[in-house]
């Protein structure tokens, strides 16, 4: 699992270097789920995270623990699930929208987001995956065969 996480981390670093669209709005800093290694790295600070509120370390538009932030924060706007690598919160995140436009250049954004979201949510429902808010979570599974990756790093090893 750690090797896969490392690949996703490298992919996200390369993408965010090429696409400078993060507005540092903090919308992504809402109760990030912590992995065991995040909890160990954050130590006593891990106790400050709660599942219903904003991240306690996002203060005045800045992450106060940026250098040791949780993995889920490092890979945002991607989410790594057992089913593959997903691009999430496309409507709320400018960086996510820019990545989406690069990966799916030939289709109208709104139509494709809805189509992909409905398809993925139906698949998840069939697999009995428990999501907190499946009606509000928009995601698009990234598959090289379905999108134009252009200059972006290859992701076939990750899916």
pLDDT, tens only, 67-116? 888 888 888 888 877 777 788 878 788 888 888 877 777 655 555 555 66
Which token pair is 20? Answer: 């400078």
Residues 45, 40: Cα–Cα separation, whole Å: 10
pLDDT at 151: 52
Q: What is the pLDDT of residues 139-148, one digit of tens each?
A: 444 544 455 5
pLDDT at 107: 58
Give pTM, 2 decimals.
0.56
- Residue-by-residue DSSP string for 96-155: HHHHHHHHSTTS-HHHHHHHHHHHHHHHHHHTT---S-TTT--EEE--GGGS--TTSPP-
Confidence of residue 11 (pLDDT cuts 50, 70, 90): confident
> Which residue from 34, 93, 31, 78 is spatially nearest to 58, judged by alpha carbons?
31
Residues 113, 85: Cα–Cα separation, whole Å: 16
Residues 128, 151: Cα–Cα separation, whole Å: 36
pLDDT at 80: 75
Mean pLDDT of 3-11: 79
Q: Which of 26-30, 35-39, 52-56, 150-154 has the lowest mean pLDDT?
A: 150-154
Q: What is the pLDDT of residues 35-61, one digit of tens each?
A: 777 788 877 777 777 666 678 888 888
């Amino acid at each position: 699992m750690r090797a896969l996480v490392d690949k996703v981390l490298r992919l996200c670093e390369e993408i965010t270097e090429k696409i400078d669209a993060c507005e540092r709005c903090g919308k992504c800093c809402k109760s990030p789920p912590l992995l065991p290694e995040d909890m160990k790295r954050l130590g006593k600070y891990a106790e400050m995270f709660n599942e219903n509120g904003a991240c306690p370390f996002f203060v005045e538009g800045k992450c106060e623990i940026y250098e040791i932030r949780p993995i889920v924060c490092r890979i945002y706007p991607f989410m790594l699930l057992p089913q593959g690598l997903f691009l999430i919160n496309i409507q709320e995140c400018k960086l996510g929208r820019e990545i989406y436009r690069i990966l799916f250049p030939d289709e109208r954004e709104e139509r494709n987001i809805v189509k992909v979201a409905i398809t993925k949510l139906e698949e998840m429902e069939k697999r009995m995956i428990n999501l907190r808010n499946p009606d509000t979570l928009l995601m698009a599974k990234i598959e090289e065969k379905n999108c134009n990756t252009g200059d972006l790093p290859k992701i076939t090893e990750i899916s």
